[in-house]
Amino acid sequence: MAVGVFDSGLGGLTVHRAVSKRLPEVAFCYYGDNAHAPYGVRDAEDIFNLTCRGVERLWDEGCDLVILACNTASAAALKRMQERWIPKDKRVLGVFVPLIEALTERQWGDNSPPREVAVKHVALFATPATVASRAFQRELAYRAIGVDVEAQPCGGVVDAIEAGDEILAEALVKSHVEALKRRMPHPEAAILGCTHYPLMQDTFQQALGAEVKVYSQANLVAESLADYLARRPEFLGSGTVSKYLTTGDPASVSVHATQFLRQPIRFEAA
């Protein structure tokens, strides 16, 4: 029984770590498309094609269910994949749903009209492609009214993380937070809308201030996945082996993954 976790690079490891801890009996196969990272500066067609290629590779590993642990792929490719591409015996899920459920305090299946929620001023930090898609704002508007979302495209942060440059990543995060706060001085909540960003969560929190609630996706996705598999165990798949796959250089990717997660991780060539 195996579940696939897809990401453009290293960021999805934050989700992988959380789902592995929540579901220790499940084998997880991770696919990082490091050779083509970052996705956040690519156009929608390119993101769609690369995401489909990675998902198919995970299906080959016996993962009938794949989590797109990449906000850019979820924003730019998932809807099209679900409508036109995914066969009936497979499932591909994104990472927006659990986040919006938590922010609006309502379940995804709740189709009642949008209503007011407690949080009124939300800062969204995401890749340029995710910000441009407006996918988060669109999904949020289906469920909540009166929420002001200020989005900050965080150019360079994913590149710095993928390169293993923590000092540059920290500097860029602080710069992007300062830029957003010039437009929204007092956000009540902040969304880390890229699965790379939890690797820098302490830096985001320090720059934003202790009074701002920072929503990170990993644990929310883990709980949502556990609930999904309890209801749909048939999508656990035939795979039985946990592994890490990359389209990049396995040795280099392993070093950077180990550095950021502070635990030994060994990637294989995809």
What residues are designated binding site for substrate? Answer: 7-8, 39-40, 71-72, 195-196
Give catalytic residue positions: 70, 194
Please tell me the predicted confidence (pLDDT) of residue 34.
95
Distance, in Å, from the CA atom of 32 to the CA atom of 83, rounded to the nearest integer, reads 24
Closest listed residue to residue 269, CA positions, set 243, 241, 239, 247: 247
The tens digit of pLDDT for each residue in 158-192 reads: 889 888 888 999 999 999 999 999 999 999 999 99
Here the tokens at position 256 are: 């950077």
What is the pTM (predicted TM-score) of this model?
0.85
Please tell me the predicted confidence (pLDDT) of residue 97.
80
**Structural domains for the chain:** 2-95+218-269 (3.40.50.1860), 97-217 (3.40.50.1860)
The model's confidence at residue 113, banded by pLDDT at 50, 70 and 90, is confident
The tens digit of pLDDT for each residue in 69-112 reads: 998 899 889 989 999 999 999 999 998 888 888 888 776 566 67
β partners of residue 188? none
The tens digit of pLDDT for each residue in 7-66 reads: 999 989 999 999 999 999 999 999 999 999 889 889 999 999 999 999 999 999 999 999
